[in-house]
Amino acid sequence: ANAVVPCDCVLVRGSAVVNEASLTGESVPQMKDMLERDAGDDQRALDMNGRDRVHALFAGTTVMTAAAGDAEAGGVPPTPDGGCLCYVLRTGFSSAQGELMQMIEFSQQQISDDSKETLVALGILLVFALVSSGYVLRTGLQKGDRTTHELLLKCVIIVTSVVPRHLPMQTAMAVNTALMALMKKGVFCTEPFRVPFAGKIDSVLFDKTGTLTSDKLVPVGVVNAPAGGQGSAGKAPEGEHPVSEAGADAAAILAGCHSLVSVGGLDGLVGDPIEMAALQGLQWSYDHTSATA
């Protein structure tokens, strides 16, 4: 239990409950079952990120519990320690975790600043250069002390000097400096070209509780709960009521429609914090073995 998977593999015997938060960010444990051999699937390729994801264990994830499964498992022998049996598919940088680390460490994307803003700045400089070139050409022709060839050469030099020779290197160095400052703070960027856009951010929105705040949720109440508490019938009054006073139908849905699991060696249930808070607010208990609340 709580062992880190060292490689990408597929379950050929037994089952497991895996925490994939390190790869997907989801806190809900995932149930993994053995890959059963079906007739007609001999020529089908294994789809680890689609159809067969429920049978695959990925590197970097944590195994919370594992079981050996049934006695008959398609001719696959049981493991000596009573755990599940897996077949290794990918290791090192070829695994799911390895590809992520390789993307962070060896990003090959072009590093540059915002090209749109750069073009706008160069356009403004080009306008001044054209005005300056026109003034030089006009003044030189009026004075007559320079040949037309010399005046045109001066105008070309003025226009070409708008784009500095070291501009691409300077923009790349500016982004690299920002990346190094982020790495010192423990922030790794997989797409360096997005660093210049970060300077324009004035608001940051997160998609779930737990990123900046506590992941412990407190049930506030149920809207339109039937009067009289659980087991009562009748018209539901308007307003908000404590979760413990939810009607029979609402209580049955909150207590039964969830993905909470009981992991061996751990106290209580494990799963979505919202579902955990709802069950605790009802003051009900749930038995994962018999699937009874």
Half-sphere exposure of 49 (CA within 13 A, CB side): 4
Amino acid at 59: A
Q: Are 83 and 65 in contact (CB under 8 A)?
A: no
Rounded to whole angstroms, how far apart are CA atoms 87 and 94? Answer: 15
Instruction: Supply the DSSP symbol for 292.
Output: B
Q: How far is CA 193 from the centre of its chain?
A: 18
Q: Active-site residue among 42, 81, 145, 207?
A: 207
Whether 42 sits among the annotated catalytic residues: the reply is: no
Question: Closest Cα partner for 236 from 246, 249, 227, 244?
Answer: 227
Question: Closest Cα partner for 3 from 60, 86, 48?
Answer: 60
- Which residue is listed with tokens 């979760």? 243
Amino acid at 173: M
Q: What value, to the nearest 5°, has the Cα angle with vertex 95 and ends 65 and 93?
A: 135
Q: Are 96 and 59 in contact (CB under 8 A)?
A: yes
Rounded to whole angstroms, how far apart are CA atoms 280 and 243? Answer: 9
Catalytic residue numbers, as ranges: 207
